[in-house]
Amino acid sequence: MKRILIVTGQSGSGKSSALQVFEDLGYYCIDNLPLALLPEIVAKLDHDNNLEQLALGLDVRSAREDLQDFDDVLRQLQKFGAVDIIYLTTQDQQLISRFSASRRPHPLATRFKSLSECIQEEKNLLLPLKLQATVNIDTTDKSVHDLKDILLSKLGQSDNLIVILQSFGYKYGIPLDTDYIFDVRHLPNPHWNTELRKFSGLDQPVTAFLEQHADVEDMFQDIYVFLQKWLPALQRGHRHYVTISIGCTGGQHRSVYMVNRLQQALQRDWPIQVLHREMKNWS
């Protein structure tokens, strides 16, 4: 995993909106998990899904003891990649107005009589997270669109189309979260070579085997030319991301090779994320 975002801050300050922005940008988003469980869950996600980008929503509903031990949790998360902490805050009067308008109770409403007390106690509880924040944003007078622009600017991302390249195996089912699917099962299969079976499409022996066949190169060129032609049109249509899935029988050799080649060819022009869905099943 390359990047982890922790989205936190005061209730009513825009955390849900921020997570929606990151979801649109292709992040795998999880909200409101107990803080103490995050390292274990991130480890499993990293192992099973080979995720490139993860956004975690965190708020005051975590146990007080867990919030106080945030430094330890942060150190554990940093083992999986770069961690940015985004802390959202809003002036008290604006928060009171937002809660009054939404008629939703504050998460601490059962413990305190007034909304002002809830807001103050939440600030105290979230102080360990605020002190570690790498991005602080005051959303008092910000719209959802303003928040998106600030997040993109502060995190060094643009509003460009993000291309997600995913390999998969048809025997495990067709992915539902995809925009385009290319079937490469007709290409020569390294699986039937017992010396190659243990490798994946990322390994040199499989790469050398596949590159001996003209059909493999033709298929790559056809997919590459298609994407080069239509990705700009998708971006002009204000798409945030597009998922391209390449499938072979088991999702270990041909599809993985094709995704790897496409990544190398496209990354000069487009932000790329790669997901090898069947990695956990590789022999």
Instruction: Show binding-site residues for ATP.
Output: 9-16
| Helix extents (H) in 85-182 | 92-102, 115-125, 127-132, 144-154
Summarize the annotated binding site as residue ranges.
9-16, 59-62
Q: In the structure encoding, which two tokens stand for residue 46, read together?
A: 């990293």
* Cα torsion angle, 169, 267, 56, 241, sign: negative
* DSSP per position, 15-54: HHHHHHHHHHTT-EEEES--GGGHHHHHHHHHHHH--SEE
3-state secondary structure of 169: strand
Can you tell me the distance from the alpha carbon of 260 to that of 280, in angstroms, rounded to the nearest whole number? Answer: 17
Can you tell me the distance from the alpha carbon of 102 to that of 117, in angstroms, rounded to the nearest whole number? Answer: 18
Structural contact between residues 59 and 32, judged by C-beta atoms closer than 8 angstroms: yes
Can you tell me the distance from the alpha carbon of 121 to that of 115, in angstroms, rounded to the nearest whole number? Answer: 10
3-state secondary structure of 9: strand
| Helix extents (H) in 103-143 | 115-125, 127-132
Summarize the annotated binding site for GTP as residue ranges.
59-62
3-state secondary structure of 139: coil
Can you tell me the distance from the alpha carbon of 142 to that of 27, in angstroms, rounded to the nearest whole number? Answer: 23
Task: Give the rounded distance of the alpha carbon of 70 from its chain centre.
Answer: 22
Q: In the structure encoding, which two tokens stand for residue 200, read together?
A: 């994946």
